[in-house]
Structure 1
Amino acid sequence: MTTDEQQRKELGAFLRARRSTLDRASFGLPPAGRGRAAGLRREEISYLSGVSVTWYTWLEQGRDINPSRQVLDAVATALRLTVAEHDYALTLAGFAPSRPGTHSAVATAPAHVQRFLDALDEHPAYALAPDWGIAGWNAAYEALYPNVATVDPEDRNLLWLIFTDPAVRSLLDDWDDTSRRFLAEFRAEVGPRLGDTRYRDLVGRLMDASGEFRERWESHGVGGFESRERVFQHPTLGRLVFEHHQMRPSDQTDVQLVVYTADAETRKRFAKRG
């Protein structure tokens, strides 16, 4: 059996297994009846996903067909797959996983994420929601950028602050370069979701508030995150040099964490901030 055949077989078995675990009552369907297998029928998944019953049957049978990503997404929705299960199905079919997560709204960092930020102690760190709202931060980050704790929650968005807060502009040693990089990263992450009201409204507000944002947004720059040196000109602590890093909790992929690690001189100066 070739690798492709094995993956098709595994995908079919996986879909059948998930279908058999579905609770009919939660779909508003009557019990399966005596002698019938538990879960939903193929015809019912076909109806819920908008995929023909023949095509869905072939998918479960591991036939040599080439389902589109849209078909797999529709089937995943009908089967109520979790993010991890959805990614698994996509991978078996030869598609990249649907990372990062569900892109659901995140107003406040989950408790375990906040505890992790706090445990980083002298390393400034913050958590970003999918729309780049700052959902959590530690005391060290607040010492670096005090406005994070006082700004209106509606405006506590990294992209908004970069382009509208004069304190951020004066804090960043390389505002022009950093603002361009952040905007390119933001666009790369949220471009496919700009039809969502949250993202569309944020971009609209920024277009109205900042000519620099408007000009750069219209250039359609796209880029990925890169760990690199960051220099800050702090109003009381002077020049601070960090390296910033990004990570995502495996159980909370809708949240990205950014952590700053300091060079030796900055560690000394930053440690005396209190």
Structure 2
Amino acid sequence: MDADQPAHSPAPVPGSEPALDGRAELSEFLRTRRARLQPEDVGLPNFGRHRRVPGLRREELAQLAGVSVAYYTRLEQGNGRNVSGEVLDAIARALRLTDAEHAHLTHLAKPKQHKKKRAARPQHVRPALLQLMDAMEGVPAYVVGRRSDILGWNRMAAALFGDWGALPPEERNWARICFLHPESRALFRDWDQKASDMVSFLRMEAGCFPNDPRLSALVGELSVKSEEFRSLWATHDVREKGHGVKRMHHTLVGDMTLSFETLRLPDDHDQSLVTYHAEPDSASADALRLLASWGADAARAGAAGKEK
């Protein structure tokens, strides 16, 4: 196992990082969702080309959702304290939100207070799960937790993505690696999509854990250090991506097209097991086998060096 200890960020200094502003998050999310729709998209007449605001007007959205303009305006100003689930459902339908966006809206409008304590607990990977990943020969696998923290991984994941064990624990974070490590841009052929997915994941986290100081610190750091992150964060896009395909270029074995699966753990929904595999009898499968052989040789060399 490449990670002898689960990785989690060090505790911040109490009070050093403000929580994300839930009212502002709700307001901006609704505004950006409304701005992407045109009247003709939802069956409303478009009276003239010179509209003062992009997308639907507040009164148009309120009409579609069956609520008063004043009620919707209060909600879009961030006041969701007394909003009902039925009203949120109606607004989600009017805005044509995806399931992930609908869940995000609910988290923003009706945050659960107990999640503050839940987010503060350090995460650990069960030993049996670490053993399972070690047994998955030829399959890069890792466990990701809250804030996209990388909690544990197997030898194949280290061979594919790099030696996470050489990073300080607080640096073992996918979002930080994606935006602040140049190597990730070289590895992922579709880095733009990877970056967009990463920000969408953090947006979902912000809705679930608005009072998490470590998440606030991560967002603040990336906003300062990465123009791409700032731009993507401002879109307020959210989505869940449980599977898909990634195109990669590894310095040792060349181009690969790998499918990934994200499996949320049943006993801890804040942790997910992520695996990568190649289509059988493909050039990518050959590249993975070569990478596995190289990883095994590197591991043996490292073990021999420790014995000397």
Q: Which band: TM-score by shorter chain?
A: 0.5 to 0.7
Q: Aligned Cα RMSD in Å?
A: 2.3
Letter matched to residue 216 of structure 2: R
1:182 aligned partner: 198
Letter matched to residue 287 of structure 2: R
Q: Is the 8 Å Cα contact of residues 120 and 212 (structure 2) preserved in structure 1?
A: no
Larger Rg computed on CA atoms: 1
Q: Is the 8 Å Cα contact of residues 242 and 263 (structure 2) preserved in structure 1?
A: no
Counterpart among 210, 216, 219 of residue 194 in structure 1:
210
Counterparts of 1:106 and 1:256, CA distance in 2: 15
Counterpart among 136, 156, 159 of residue 140 in structure 1:
156
Q: Is the 8 Å Cα contact of residues 125 and 140 (structure 1) preserved in structure 2?
A: yes
Q: Is the 8 Å Cα contact of residues 105 and 129 (structure 1) preserved in structure 2?
A: no
Q: Is the 8 Å Cα contact of residues 130 and 254 (structure 1) preserved in structure 2?
A: yes
Counterpart among 266, 287, 296 of residue 250 in structure 1:
266
2:293 pairs with 1:272: no
What are the superposed Cα offsets for residues 73-103 of structure 1, whole Å, 9 maximum, x if unpaired? xxxxxxxxxxxxxxxxxxxxxxxxx99x944
Instruction: Quote the offset at 1:242 in angstroms.
Output: 0.8
Larger RCO, structures 1/2 (Cα 8 Å, 6+ apart): 2
Instruction: Quote the offset at 1:108 in angstroms.
Output: 4.2
Instruction: Quote the offset at 1:110 in angstroms.
Output: 2.2
SS of the equivalent of 2:255 reads strand
Counterparts of 1:245 and 1:103, CA distance in 2: 24
Counterparts of 2:256 and 2:164, CA distance in 1: 18
Q: Is the 8 Å Cα contact of residues 119 and 212 (structure 2) preserved in structure 1?
A: no
Aligned pair count reads 178
SS of the equivalent of 1:245 reads strand
CA 1:249–1:226 in structure 2 vs 1: closer, same or farther (change >3 Å)? closer
Letter matched to residue 118 of structure 1: D
**After the TM superposition, which segments of 4 or more aligned residues of structure 1 sit over 3 Å from their partners?**
101-108
Structure 2: give runs of 5+ residues left out of the alignment: 1-83, 86-113, 295-308
Instruction: Quote the offset at 1:191 in angstroms.
Output: 2.1
Counterparts of 1:134 and 1:106, CA distance in 2: 12
SS of the equivalent of 2:189 reads coil
Counterparts of 1:182 and 1:254, CA distance in 2: 15
1:203 aligned partner: 219
Instruction: Quote the offset at 1:134 in angstroms.
Output: 0.2
Counterparts of 1:257 and 1:226, CA distance in 2: 10
Counterparts of 2:205 and 2:264, CA distance in 1: 14
1:54 aligned partner: none
SS of the equivalent of 2:257 reads strand
Residues 62-211 of structure 1 mapped to structure 2, 5 A cutoff? 102-103=118-119, 105-211=121-227
CA 1:175–1:146 in structure 2 vs 1: closer, same or farther (change >3 Å)? same
CA 1:192–1:177 in structure 2 vs 1: closer, same or farther (change >3 Å)? same
SS of the equivalent of 2:268 reads coil
Structure 1: give runs of 5+ residues left out of the alignment: 1-67, 70-97
2:78 aligned partner: none
Instruction: Quote the offset at 1:267 in angstroms.
Output: 2.0
Q: Is the 8 Å Cα contact of residues 144 and 150 (structure 2) preserved in structure 1?
A: yes
Q: Is the 8 Å Cα contact of residues 132 and 158 (structure 1) preserved in structure 2?
A: yes
CA 1:145–1:245 in structure 2 vs 1: closer, same or farther (change >3 Å)? same
CA 1:272–1:192 in structure 2 vs 1: closer, same or farther (change >3 Å)? closer
Q: Is the 8 Å Cα contact of residues 159 and 182 (structure 1) preserved in structure 2?
A: yes
Q: Is the 8 Å Cα contact of residues 106 and 135 (structure 1) preserved in structure 2?
A: no
